[in-house]
Structure 1
Amino acid sequence: MEDVTVRFLDGEADAGVLRRLYEAVLVPSFSPGEREPLDRLRRVLAADELRGAIALAPDGEPVGALFLEWFGDIRAALLCYFAVRPDLRGRGIGQRLVAVAGPHWRATLRPHVVFAEAEDPLRPAGGSSVSKDEDPTADYGDDDARLRLYAGFGGRRVPVPYLLPELSPGAGRLSGLLFLVIESDDEVSPTPDRIRSTIVSDFVVRYFARLEGAQKAGPLSPQEADRQGDPHRADDDDRLRQLLAACSRAGFLPLLPL
C-alpha cells in the first residue's frame, strides 16, 4: 500500500498507538505464548532495549509492526513482532516496514548480527510450539509468508533446537521454531555459511534472562522443579539445556538455506 507511512515508537505519547497496535495487529497475529502482555510490551516506548517501527494508514491507525530486541553489549539484535493487520496482509506492508526500519537500525546500531524466529513449516499441526493457553484451531496469520520474506532478505537457518522464552505468564516456553540469521558481519560470520557459536550462545543467555528474569531463566534440576510445583518446568529446562549445548558444540555453527 503506497499510502502507508512508517515511523518509530518513541515515548509515552505513543502509548495509545501501542495499545491500538496491540489489539488490531499483534493479538490476531501471535498466540498468547508468542507475545508479551501489553503492560510488559510498553517497554518499547523507551526505544532502548526494545525498539518498534509501525506502519500507519492515512487515518493514523496502526496496521503493521516490526520490533527489534537489542542487546548492545554484544551488538546483537532480534527481529520480533513482525505482523500486519489481517485484512491488509499480502499488500506489501511488511516489505515496506523492513525497507524503512532495516537501514535505520543498521546505521544507528551497527549490529554484528540480526536474528529472527519463525514457525517451522515442517512442524506437525498441533506440535510443540502451541502454548498451553492457545486454541489449536486459531489462525494467527501466514507464517509461511513471513518465512518467505525473511528468505528473500537473505535469511539463513541455524540448526539448533530453538526455544522461545516464556513471554506471557503461565504460557510456558515454546519449541518447534526455526532460529534464523537475517544478516551478520565478518566479525561473527567470516564466511556466509557459518557463524561463531559464542555470539549465538551469548544471545540466547541474554534473551532468556531479559524476558524471564535471570533467576527463572536458569535451568532447574527436576527435583527443584518438582518442589516449585511446576510439572512443565523440568521439561522446559531440559530443552533449554539442549539448546545451550547445541549452541556451544563447536567454534562455529553452520548457516543453512531456508
Structure 2
Amino acid sequence: MDIRVRDEHEVDDAQLAALYDDVLTLSFPRSELVDRAEFLDAVAGPDGDTCAVVALDAAGEVVGGIVGEWFAQCRVLLVSYVAVAPGLRGGGVGRRLISESLIRWGSRFSPLLIVGEVEDPRVHPATEYGDPVARLRLYEALGALILPVPYFQPALHEDADRVRDLLLMVFAASPAYRLDGHVDTSVVRGFLEQNLLACEGHIDPGDEEIRALWAAVDRTDRIPMLAPQRYLT
C-alpha cells in the first residue's frame, strides 16, 4: 500500500479529526481514549507535548496514526496510541508508523526512554478492537522489551476506570540508561509518577495498586527488560 507519513503539524485539522473519529475510536474502547476535544486541543497545542505521526493514503485519507506524550520532567516519551484503520491492519502500516515515529521523536526530544502500553495477551482476549497477541508480536519484531512491573493505565477521565493488566514496554532507551539489559529505576519511577499525576491529578499513597507498583519498582536500582516471547506462552 502506498502511504505517506506526516507529523501532526504537516496535516490539517480535518485529518487530525479523522485520525480520532475514523481510526482511534474504532481501535480502542472508550475507557482507553481521551475525549475528542481534549485530543484535538492537545495535538494542535503550542506546547508540543502531544505529538502524532499520521499515515495517509494516496488520496490523502487517514489510514493510521501513532500518538505520543512527552514528559519533559523525566525525559520519557509515552506512545499513547498506535492504530490502523479496520481492514488495513496487518499490511505493514503499523510497522511503518512505529519505525518512523521512533526516529522522528528520538531526534525531536532526545528521550531517555520511549515506552508504550499493550494489553497482556495472557489476560486480554482478541476483540473488535484488535488482537493483543498480534500486537505484541509486532512490537517484539520491532525490538520492544517488557518491564516486569504491575502496570495499569491511569484513569483518563472522570467516567473512566483504570485499564488493568497491561504490559509496560520499552521501544527505545538512551545508551546511558540501558545497561546490561536493564534500565535505570529512577527514570521509570519518574515516568510512572508523572503519568499518574497527569491523568488522575494526585497519587494516593494508600492505593493498593499504586503500592504494588512502587514495591515492584523500588526493590532495585535497575529494572530488567524482558523478551515479549515469555508473555506469549
Partner of 2:130: 141
Question: Which 10-residue stretch deviates more, 80-89 or 65-74?
Answer: 65-74
Judge conservation of contact 1:123–1:176 (CA < 8 Å) in 2.
yes
Deviation digits for residues 151-207 of structure 1, max 9, x if unmatched?
Answer: 11211111110010111321111111111111112222222x211111111000011
Cα distance in 2 between the residues matched to 1:124 and 1:54: 27
1:176 aligns with 2:150: no
1:204 aligns with 2:202: no
Query: What is the letter of the counterpart of residue 135 of structure 2?
Result: R
CA RMSD after TM alignment = 1.9
Partner of 1:157: 146
Judge conservation of contact 1:155–1:181 (CA < 8 Å) in 2.
yes
Shift in Å at residue 10 of structure 1? 2.2
Cα distance in 2 between the residues matched to 1:207 and 1:80: 11
Deviation digits for residues 32-61 of structure 1, max 9, x if unmatched?
Answer: 111111111120122611100010122222
Structure-2-length-normalised TM-score: 0.90
Judge conservation of contact 1:52–1:65 (CA < 8 Å) in 2.
yes
Cα distance in 1 between the residues matched to 2:124 and 2:38: 31
Query: What is the letter of the counterpart of residue 9 of structure 2?
Result: D
**Pick from 174, 183, 196: which aligns with 1:185?**
174
1:238 aligns with 2:205: no
1:101/1:87 Cα in 2 relative to 1: closer, same or farther (>3 Å)? same
Partner of 2:231: none
- Where 2:130 maps in the other structure, the secondary structure is coil
Q: Runs (4+) of structure 1 moved beyond 6 Å?
A: none
Judge conservation of contact 1:44–1:51 (CA < 8 Å) in 2.
yes
Structure 1 unaligned runs (5+)? 126-136, 222-236
Query: What is the letter of the counterpart of residue 241 of structure 1?
Result: R
Shift in Å at residue 138 of structure 1? 5.1
Query: What is the letter of the counterpart of residue 12 of structure 2?
Result: D
Cα distance in 2 between the residues matched to 1:40 and 1:251: 36
1:111 aligns with 2:99: no
Larger Rg: 1
Cα distance in 2 between the residues matched to 1:62 and 1:51: 16
1:247/1:220 Cα in 2 relative to 1: closer, same or farther (>3 Å)? closer
Cα distance in 1 between the residues matched to 2:214 and 2:7: 33
Deviation digits for residues 44-97 of structure 1, max 9, x if unmatched?
Answer: 122611100010122222110111111123221111210000111111111221
1:253 aligns with 2:223: yes
Partner of 1:14: 12
Deviation digits for residues 101-144 of structure 1, max 9, x if unmatched?
Answer: 2211111211111111111011155xxxxxxxxxxx95111322
Judge conservation of contact 1:198–1:251 (CA < 8 Å) in 2.
yes
1:44 aligns with 2:43: yes
Shift in Å at residue 98 of structure 1? 2.1
Query: What is the letter of the counterpart of residue 63 of structure 1?
Result: V
Judge conservation of contact 1:32–1:168 (CA < 8 Å) in 2.
no
- Where 1:183 maps in the other structure, the secondary structure is strand
Structure with greater strand share of residues: 2
Structure-1-length-normalised TM-score: 0.82
Judge conservation of contact 1:52–1:68 (CA < 8 Å) in 2.
yes
Shift in Å at residue 220 of structure 1? 6.3
The number of residue pairs the alignment matches comes to: 226
Question: Which 10-residue stretch deviates more, 141-150 or 158-167?
Answer: 141-150
Judge conservation of contact 1:86–1:141 (CA < 8 Å) in 2.
no
- Where 1:87 maps in the other structure, the secondary structure is coil
Cα distance in 1 between the residues matched to 2:102 and 2:55: 14
